[in-house]
Structure 1
């Protein structure tokens, strides 16, 4: 893999730099990385301090954030989802990590307890409040994602937020005091009104929208008829593995869960989880 996260010293010169604003990255004809010293000389409305985030193809990479999109000649802003669809896997891994660090840093500029400005901790990926003596580290929100199966059929649903026509698996955040398995049962029942059993864990994927850790399962249908949760689900249906609708992006864990089950039913080689 060309991307390796690490904590870099921002006092060191050179390297490449990403420019981020609210889940969007600036890019040009050469990609998303800019000469660091050149970018820092531009008139940018920087939101907070610089972050050294790791190495891409052996070169040091740093992250800068602005409080609003800025225009630079020959450049344009693209959302993280657009980069996911258009870029290669290593570039998306780089941008996904950078986006999570950017969200964490932006949300911890001030202490949530006393309002005091937070400071980066030298040599550690942490923000520190001197008044409260607390550290805040990058946040991960555990969530489950599950493909419900019934023989040669899989249950897929769509949200109003999805691309027109696309269906995907069910997902939801783990609540306090809840196991991931309990979350699977609860979310499936809440979102589509059916009960499941025989859960099988298949793998996990960091999902930077904005800072989830997706834990992926297959679950067999047990009972019930589809009753959609109106504020969450626009449509939900059983689909044959021989006749599927438009599906999520190939490097997503949602697509991986679907592709694995289809491969097993049709006797095809199983895919490998991207990442």
Structure 2
């Protein structure tokens, strides 16, 4: 009798396990019914009201933001977004007003092709991007992404050809909008992409104003060698704590 009861119990346990496993299999989402990235994107476009625009609307960007003065190509960034399933942001059209007024900032010839280059700012193209980006009027030059929404074309400056490779190095003034602690980052152009060389502190102060004195913070000493003036803090008496530092490009 005990053996029979044991067999019945064992059979019940096995049956229960099989039902549980069956539930696990049938409870999986039906991936075949999931919309593709392009289908999701089309759905987002259709749901966008007339007073709104998608952050990656290239026609709106070229016609209304850049006003036909330049045609930016964002195709390579869109491919990256698709791979990562990064969808565009729906924004009110008035959000782009800041870009209307900022326009372009001329940097001179930064890539050595004998043509002048300018920089402009665009909002994040999708949810995966944290802040504004700097774009250049030569589409072959990669953009510079940031995690800040306080970017301005004038925050990029040509600091000259430090490494004497025929291309100019640039510096970016970085602001987090609120804090008095800012940063300046130096970049060098390598194969049309920006390589970050050095980032250093710039604390807001009364002696040096970034709009007026940006160029005073750098000086080339020889090929590949640059000195920069780092303002790291302000003491209790209001005196800036700063020093000239050296870097090699």
* Larger RCO, structure (CA 8 Å, separation 6 or more): 1
> What is the TM-score when the length of structure 2 is the normalising length?
0.24
Larger Rg: 2
> What is the TM-score when the length of structure 1 is the normalising length?
0.22
